[in-house]
Structure 1
Amino acid sequence: MSKTDWFNKRGRGIHLTIRDIDCDNYDAEQMAKDFHEMHVSFFSFFAGGYVSTYPTNLDLQRESPYLNGKDVTGEIVEAAHRYGIKAVAMIDLGILPKKAALQNPHWCSVDGNGNLYESTDGFYVSCPLGGYQKDYAVQIVREIIEKYDVDGIKFGGASYGFKSSGICYCRNCRTDFKESTGLDLPTAKDRTSPVWTQFTRWKLKKTTACVKYLMDVVKSVDPDMPVFGNSVCFGDPEWTVGSSLDVEQMSNYQSAIQVEAQTRFKLDASGQAQWQSLRWTGEEARYMSSVTDKPIWVVVSYFMAWPWRRSAMTPVEQKVYLAQIAANGAMPMVNLSGGPPKVHEDPRGFIAMKELFEFHDKHNDYYDGDVSAANIAIIYSADTLNFYEPGNHDSHDHYVECIRGVEQSLLEAHIPFDIISTQTLSDEMLNKYKTVILPSMACMGEQEAEAIRRYSARGGGVIATGETSLFDLDGAKRNDFLLKDVFQAEYNGVTLQVNGKHTGEVMQAYMNIQDSTHPLVQGLEETSVVPIAYDYCTIKVSIDRTVVPLTLSAPFRVFPEGLSYTVEPDTGAAMAVLSENDTKGRTVYFPHRIDRLFWQTGIPDLKQLLVNAVLWSMHGEVPIVVSAPVTCEVSLRKKGNKIMVHLINLTGGRRVFNELVPLHGLSVGIKEPSVVKAYLLSTGESLEIRKSNDLSQVTVETLKDYDVVVFEV
């Protein structure tokens, strides 16, 4: 197998963070043996940069003081190859050792007063436009490739991104920005300023250009050497937006794409704690495997995450966290910090890796080359993430919550879906789907709108929420929706709070059900109201071609309880607009952020409305029917004559999961009448097939954590 082939085969990886102190007595042979027993097929490891793990001849590379003449890099590569494991050398160019920074201050990021940005004591932040990336990187890459038989070069995530917490005013940045825009760099962060918009777009381009340059550097030394990087998707907007990462454009210049899902938990200095979504890994795998044909690595932390790098994540949660990656078209990868397995201070987490990796390895033919069989897509907009609601400090998070509200509703309803982006809206891409969903996709361009119009005209289903298409790509508000013809609704010029004017009183509002027989409100027959919050677009609806089954109630106080009622009439404001065009293309427009409210509250009625909208818009043509608790996650994949339903049990109660409640009697069916065989991948056990019309169903008696039902047609 050549250097250009191995990473195209679905595998299982580790990223090995090697600390200075680890170099003191590093047992590479034991490490490789442990990795082999865990069914690891590749790993990356710290080789060059601010921690260099080999004797370097480069004066400005910082060699680990614990090396003492040893060659840890060489020992690691040789040991890995003895066990048939691929070893990728990682270089981190984002941090400059003190000696390099003081001798070459023009390599550093600087603040408005010309002071170097310090990363930590004795280390400084490099600028991606500086000579460290542009010139010295060539020497580091050449030295490693010429000394060692590595299977790839990877650049750490900080190697090409801008400092997320400050503006770099170095000469290179000032000159380049001036030449590119005719403007001076902004003096402070102000998202409402047009200069900041141009600054953000400039950074996005420069980050991508840096990724391309580093790829070219590697290829100039060895044209066959695979090149990898590190990034993150929209689920961590603090990093994505702060460092100006366009992961889709960056993927054009990497052999395989690594994205992180590491910060599952964060406890900040003020004592504020925050959990990431339990479904983050699946989200990243779905998104990346939909927007690029290149291999995807999704890397999670072995540890619990910030601030605890030593304590292992519980095996129960780690296994289902990793399983979501494997189930959605990507390669699971674990960031191991604290030394190799034999000397790790908390080895309890390795069993999860071994179990999942062994299962994946044993059944690799079912993973390698599979593709999604979902017929629904959520559309993500990087422009909305970056430029919508610039005056709202939390706008990035709010947009992600809108997307995740839709994700969560589909996951709980066991409806498989992909996540695509506005950069992929070709007719060919959209034709894969019966319905596309635009969760509060406020920023939209003419080209994107036209793609949605053509899709709708071909009979595709469209669901949109909030202020979708009301803003241009830079976040400037339009007078009307760009998709008003698809929505069959016009913007009335103002977005209002559903709770009325801010008076200081705690208020409540509801959507009133006007037609209890409509499919949109199926399952809500026993109520006449559904809670609503936040803001809504006032709209004028095309009466002749639409149905409005939900309207807005008049808001009223919550306290005192004896006065908590209203005698005012319904406001008449449309809360859902449904239409069908001449080609049977159906559209549902919710002029409010029902998606975000469901994510924040989990109110079942909101999920019911979202799921009903999906089913109605796609004429009920879901590809699978699963009867299981909402904590059973489903992914639908296919390969050749095999259709595979991945089942992941997330019934763990409060996080961190320490145990899972096994699920019993799960009914799994696919809309495929020509099924000839069905079996459980873990055991090979044949499953009895029950057929009814075009539905082929089986029963899974017990699901402990992760398994796959395979249907052969």
Structure 2
Amino acid sequence: MNQAWWYNPFRTFQTNLREIDAGLDVEAVLDAIEAYGADTWLLSVGGIVANYPSRLSSQTVNPALAERGSGDLIGDAVTAAARRGIRVLGRMDFSKIDARRAEEHPEWCFVSPEGSPQIYNGYRSVCPSGDYYQHRMFDVVAEVLQRYDLGGFFFNWMSFNEFDYSRTYWGVCHCESCLVGFRAFAPGVPHPSGPDSPGYRTWQAFTDQVLGELQQRMREHIRALNSGAAYIQGDRGDITFHEANNAVGRPLWHHHTAEMVSAARSGEADRPVFVNAVGFVDMPYRWAGEDPNHFAQFLLQAIAHGAQPSTYIMGTPADSPFRALEAGGEVTRFHRDHEDLYAGLVSAARVALVRGSRPEPATAAARQSEFRGSYLSLLERHVPFDVLRQDQLGSLEADRYALVILPDLGALAAEEVAALERVLAAGGAVVASGDSAWQDGVLQLGGGTALAEHRATYRTEEAVRSLHLAVGEPEGDFTPVVGGFEVLEPAEGVETDWHVLGRALYGPPEKCHGHEATSHPGWISRDVGPGQLAVLPWRPGLVYRELGLSRVRDAWVDKILGLARVPLQVETDLPEQVQFVLGRTPHADVLHLLNRSGDAPQRFLRPVPLAAGRVRIPAEQEPASVRARVSDAELAWSWQDGVLEIQTPPLGLFEVLETQWHNK
């Protein structure tokens, strides 16, 4: 186990403090944190307001510190927490400064394309290109670490603020530092104003470089000052940060937290992930607690996929008497009481679902539907899988996954193609749906082994209207094609299936006849060396996501599972609403069973209790024991012919099965 504290399981409670909270009762807050099951306190330290007596002119010291006898909230908190063995992390926010400092240093501030500062409730937004971020921020962190023994820092809203708190769009920054920096980054490219400007994609690359360099410098700065302090920031820190939250007007994707954690950990399994679960419904409604069933999902999805759970409130625990925190505390205390399950926990899934990272605005919605429908198809068919970010695909180890799914990604980069060819060479299977891996009419995969020639593309709704595929049972119950279709001419000797029915008229009813079978396939596959490559020139995930046809889900999942050389599905008599998350620690195999029967439109309901069942998973040897950690019970099991069958207990919100082996 790595010596740094953040490589071991931990649980955080964040108090996002207002100015008026500077006089808080430190011992009372620590009592609440301990009772919740947390061992780490994320506390507002500096930036917009300093909760300690800073001597730096770039900071505003909280005037409410006068209420404390010591005049130093951070000093009091660190001292009291140390007595209890609780770690303190510093929350920093350098995104804004007050009016006086903005007038003294306008060069620090964001400037709109019209030349205006971005002002919100009297505070000016700061630009990461400017001196405040590039230099003053480092002075503040040095001052804090010279005074206090903090376990690390989280930096809030370290970004180019094109939007404000009210989600009002301000445009691309035109401060002098940005103008000069962008000219040097992209000579000859006009400075854009917003997403509709020709150079906006180049601007995004520029801002990504500025933030990447800034974050790397800060990580090194913290490490030089205190090697035991972590930097928590996106996926560029010692710990990857993800905020799990709700928001007014945002359609709910029930699996968002699980998706984000899986995507982070599949790319870098050794990097810890920190999920900060927001206890209220939205920032403008921060005194309205989240629904308990919804909030529990934030933390449960986090720990099941190997992330560290954190709970986030405004003010002190006494200010947020939310019922949701009762549910959050139950999950947090389970993580505390069963910490051995989460020490070194990594995914043991053998299937990767690649999430696209380069969608054009015109195709983004359809590509997202294909990804999410594929996600649901695998989950409901009890196939454990990882989400793999497309920008991590190029570094994929050849034998990590037995099956890699490319859901409507478009053309691939050269390094992505090379990685997938290595998967095929290692005996793995690769499945490409939609227009994945097609570039200029040529299939990029297969190492020169032709699967098909590209004849045409149907992209519009009208172009595919009344187009059917012979997919699923019973015979004659055809599948509608929506979201586009690639017309392919299969090469000789390849396997084809699910052929298209030619489009006939669909109105008036008297003319709705004449659908003739064609030779255009909806499935093409062949061996590529020891591996197998399959192309689906349509979007089965999108069809399932938007139309809910279970026969489509079952047909395409069965088909792709048949390509793999090893079993990939958990055999079970439990219903589709049970999600299996397969993991492994140095000492045991860990299987989370998540009851998703409460998933409902735009909300989570209390899951329906499920009866006992059984699961069958591959196992190379006979186990020493199988235990249900939530039910706290030894389970009946049998092992025969390389298959372990486990009798599962009744299932409430979740269960965790731990399988111990004789040689671990």
> What TM-score results when the alignment is normalised by the length of structure 1?
0.85
CA displacement at 1:376 relative to structure 2: 0.7
Query: Judging changes above 3 Å, is the alpha-carbon distance between structure 1 residues 430 and 632 closer, same or farther for their aligned structure 2 residues?
Result: same
| Matching residue of 1:629 | 575
Q: Does 1:275 align with 2:235?
A: no
Query: Aligned pair 1:372/2:347, yes or no?
Result: yes
- Asked if structure 2 preserves the Cα contact closer than 8 Å seen for 1:17 and 1:45, the reply is yes
Structure 2 distance, partners of 1:30, 1:552, is: 70
* Per-residue deviation, residues 666-692 of structure 1 (Å, max 9, x unmatched): 212221142232121124311111334
Superposed CA offset, 1:518-551 (max 9, x none): xxx4xx2355301221212222221322313332
Name the structure 2 match of 1:235.
none
Cross-structure match for 2:521:
574
Runs of 5+ in structure 1 lacking a partner? Answer: 232-246, 268-272, 472-477, 502-506, 514-520
Q: Tell me, yes or no, if structure 1 residue 336 matches structure 2 residue 313.
A: yes
The residue matched to 1:676 in structure 2 has which SS?
Answer: strand
> Are 2:125 and 2:161, in contact at CA under 8 Å, matched by a contact in 1?
no
Match of 2:373 in 1: 405
8 Å CA contact 2:377, 2:557 repeated in 1: yes
Amino acid corresponding to residue 440 of structure 1 in structure 2: D
Conservation of the 8 A alpha-carbon contact between 1:398 and 1:596: yes
Deviation for aligned residue 1:594:
2.3
Aligned CA distance change for structure 1 residues 276 and 110 (closer, same or farther; 3 Å)? same
Look up the SS of the partner of 2:522 in the other structure.
strand
Distance 1:553 1:674, change over 3 A: farther
Residue type of the partner of 2:457? V
Superposition TM-score, scaled by structure 2 size: 0.91
- Residue 162 (structure 2) pairs with residue 204 (structure 1): no
Given the alignment of the two structures, is residue 640 of structure 1 paired with residue 640 of structure 2, yes or no? no
How far off its partner does 1:170 sit?
1.4
Where in structure 2 are the equivalents of 1:223-262 lying within 5 Å?
A: 223-231=226-234, 247=235, 250=236, 254-262=237-245
Deviations 1:439-483 (A, max 9, x none): 111141112112212321332101111111235xxxxxx343323
- Give the CA deviation at 1:662: 0.5
Deviations 1:309-345 (A, max 9, x none): 22222323322331111111111112212x222232x
Assess if the C-alpha contact under 8 Å between 2:179 and 2:191 holds in 1.
no
Post-superposition CA distance 1:59-105 (Å, at most 9, x none): 33233343335322222222322221111111111122222222111
Structure 1 residue 356: Cα displacement = 0.9
Alpha-carbon separation, structure 1, partners of 2:32 and 2:511: 65
Q: Which moved more, 1:459-468 or 1:424-433?
A: 424-433
Distance in 2 separating the partners of 1:572 and 1:499: 21
Report the 3-state secondary structure (helix = DSSP H, G, I; strand = E; otherwise coil) of the residue aligned with 2:151: coil
Partner of 1:682: 630
The structure-2 alpha-carbon separation of the partners of 1:396 and 1:41, relative to structure 1 and needing over 3 Å to count, comes to farther
Equivalent residue runs for 1:123-272 within 5 Å: 123-156=123-156, 158-163=157-162, 165=169, 166-190=171-195, 193=198, 195-220=199-224, 222-231=225-234, 247=235, 250=236, 254-262=237-245, 264=246, 266-267=247-248
Distance, in Å, in 1 between the alignment partners of 2:203 and 2:475 is 53
| 2:2 maps to 1:6 | no
Task: State the alpha-carbon separation in 1 of the partners of residues 266 and 123 from structure 2.
Answer: 38
Instruction: Show the counterpart of 1:316.
Output: 293
Q: Which of 470, 488, 491 is 1:512 aligned to?
A: 470
The answer to whether the 8 A contact 2:354-2:390 is kept is yes
Pairwise CA distance, 1:50: 1.3
Equivalent residues in 2 for 1:436-515 (5 A)? 436-470=404-438, 478-483=440-445, 485=448, 488-497=451-460, 499-500=462-463, 507-513=465-471
Q: Distance in 1 between matches of 2:461 and 2:345?
A: 45
Which residue of 1 is the match for residue 61 of structure 2?
63
Distance 2:411 2:309 in 1: 33
Q: Percent identity?
A: 21
The aligned counterpart of 1:565 is: 512
Q: Name the SS of the counterpart of 1:595 in structure 2.
A: helix
Q: 1:537 to 1:256 in 2, by over 3 A?
A: same
Whichever residue aligns with residue 178 of structure 1, its letter is R
1:708 aligns with 2:656: yes
Change (3 A) 1:415 1:441: same
Q: What SS does the aligned partner of 1:14 have?
A: strand
2:90–2:152: 8 Å Cα contact kept in structure 1?
Answer: yes
Cα separation, 2, equivalents of 1:28 and 1:565: 74
**Corresponding residue to 1:31 among 29, 32, 36:** 29
Partner of 1:243: none
- Whole-angstrom distance in 2 between the partners of 1:261 and 1:294: 18
What amino acid maps onto 2:260 in structure 1?
E
Alignment of 1:62-101 (within 5 A): 62-70=60-68, 71-101=72-102
Query: Larger deviation: 163-172 or 99-108?
Result: 163-172
SS in 2 for 1:89: strand
Q: CA deviation at 1:41?
A: 1.7
Q: Distance in 2 between matches of 1:224 and 1:163?
A: 34
Once residues 400 and 290 of structure 1 are traced to their aligned partners in structure 2, the CA distance between those partners, rounded to angstroms, is 19
Matching residue within 398, 419, 429 for 2:387: 419
Check conservation: 1:499, 1:533, Cα contact below 8 A. no
For residues 284-333 of structure 1, give each alpha carbon's deviation from its aligned partner in whole angstroms, at most 9, with x where no partner exists.
12111111221111122111235422222232332233111111111111
> Which residue of 578, 584, 589 maps to 2:535?
589
Whether the aligned pair in 1 keeps the contact of 2:302 and 2:309 (CA below 8 Å) is: yes
AA at the equivalent of 2:258: G
CA distance in 2 between partners of 1:141 and 1:347 (Å): 33
Q: Report the Cα distance in structure 2 between the residues aligned to 1:487 and 1:198, rounded to whole angstroms.
A: 36
Q: 1:581 to 1:146 in 2, by over 3 A?
A: closer
Native 8 Å contact 2:382 2:569 kept in 1: no
* Deviation of 1:653 (Å): 5.1
Change (3 A) 1:680 1:96: same
Q: CA deviation at 1:694?
A: 2.0
Is the alpha carbon distance of 1:199 and 1:539 closer, same or farther for their aligned partners in structure 2, counting shifts above 3 Å? farther
How far apart, CA to CA, are the structure 2 residues paired with 1:486 and 1:135? Answer: 55
Aligned residues of 1:499 and 1:555 also touching (Cα < 8 A): no
Deviation at 1:582, TM superposition (A): 4.1
The residue type paired with residue 182 of structure 1 is P
Structure-2 separation of matches of 1:651 and 1:636: 19
How far is 1:276 from its partner? 2.6
Q: 1:96 to 1:550 in 2, by over 3 A?
A: farther
